[in-house]
Amino acid sequence: MTTPQDIIRRDVLAMTSYPVPDATGFVKLDAMENPFGLPAALAAKLGEHLAAVALNRYPAPRPEALIAKLKAAMRVPDGCEVLLGNGSDEIISLITMACATPGAKVLAPVPGFVMYAISAKFAHVDFVGVPLTADFMLDTEAMLAAIAEHRPSVIWLAYPNNPTGTLFDDTAIERIIAAARAAHGLVVIDEAYQPFAQKSWMPRAGEFDNVVVMRTMSKLGLAGIRLGYLAGRASWLNEFDKVRPPYNVNVLTQATASFLLDHIDVLDAQAAQLRAERADLAAAVAKLPGAEVFESAGNFLLVRVPDADAVFDTLLGARVLIKNVGKMHPLLANCVRLTVGTPDENAQLLAALKLVLK
């Protein structure tokens, strides 16, 4: 008898799957999604557009027309190329796999996006986490020391950071880029939440010989289509393209993205509304007893409360789903992460928080 234990890697056997709770019947404020759907008329036109897609054909492995639209809409600098992925998760995996030489390491500030470390584990690459400061900013000197010691192949910098919402200091990032260059390392600036930060390294994507900028359409309101993209010098993207599955972005994703890039003003307006809602929600939560709200440049808020487990359980009972990040890292002790929702969803969130923060 052959069992999985006979052939599956021991480290994989010891892992658990990435947790995604069933949100049926809940106010879903745990995954930093855009809560707004498309206007009905636009959704109908999209439906007509998708009906004409040839589902019997493989997708274009490199859809040049879509890439050209992305370059124009996202203001990718001249001289930079774009690589598409099945969400930014796949791009993280591709970069890690391509750089997984024997003894290679990757480095990122922690707490940060968990997929940096998970992808490293899958690729048999050592992950080095450098703790942020108590106010969730880069510990620049510690980062520089870790780069000098470990000489990582890849350094991940989320801008803004998840789950803290922090926008790291540009001068600190420049110093890290310089240190990475001296150590022959690549810096990946992850701008998943750029629609809410309104600050970007994209204009400088071609300025450095060891920097690429990664983004996703997910937070812009298209999480369901799974489209991420990487911008940077062709010398880097051509190499990462070699490990990309040939048909990694399906025809419906390509068609949806192409159509909605012609209506990017709708998605931009939704992002602007969420930025306003973020400010209102932060002010309201900060007034609740025992709540400490950290400044956020994302579409979510990190909040420290007296008892994160009690807050999570109370909101769960009120059918409001949030993310309890209190056990992810010591710096996040008793912290919860609240996605910014619609005005009605935010009102329900506040009502539930008042049940436990009193």
The predicted pLDDT at position 139 comes to: 98
**To the nearest whole number, what is the mean pLDDT of the chain?**
96
The predicted pLDDT at position 20 comes to: 81
Peptide bond into 163 cis (omega under 30): yes
Q: Compute CA distances 57 → 52, 54, 60, 259, whole Å.
A: 12, 6, 9, 19
Q: What token pair was written down for 212?
A: 């690429």
Q: What is the DSSP-derived secondary structure letter of residue 220?
A: I
The predicted pLDDT at position 16 comes to: 85
* Best CA proximity match to 103, nearest among 131, 123, 129, 75: 123
pLDDT in tens, 232-280: 999 999 999 999 999 999 999 999 999 999 999 999 999 999 999 999 9
* Domains delineated in the chain: 4-40+265-356 (3.90.1150.10), 56-263 (3.40.640.10)
HSE-up of 281 (CA within 13 Å, CB side)?
32
pTM above 0.75, yes or no: yes
**In the structure, what pLDDT confidence band is assigned to residue 131 with cuts at 50, 70 and 90?**
very high
Q: At a CB cut-off of 8 Å and minimum separation 6, what does 19 contact?
A: none
Positive or negative, the Cα torsion across 254, 255, 256, 261?
A: positive
Say which range, 10-24, 95-109, 190-204, has the weakest mean pLDDT: 10-24
DSSP string, 129-143: EEEPPTTS---HHHH
- What is the share, in percent, of the chain residues with pLDDT greater than 70? 100
DSSP string, 323-345: EE-TTT-GGGTTEEEEE---HHH
- CA 145, distance to chain mean position in Å, is 26
The predicted pLDDT at position 19 comes to: 77
Question: Residues 254, 105: contact at Cβ < 8 Å?
Answer: no
d(CA 282, CA 277): 8
* DSSP reduced 3-state for 68: helix
pLDDT in tens, 145-181: 999 999 999 999 999 999 999 999 999 999 999 999 9
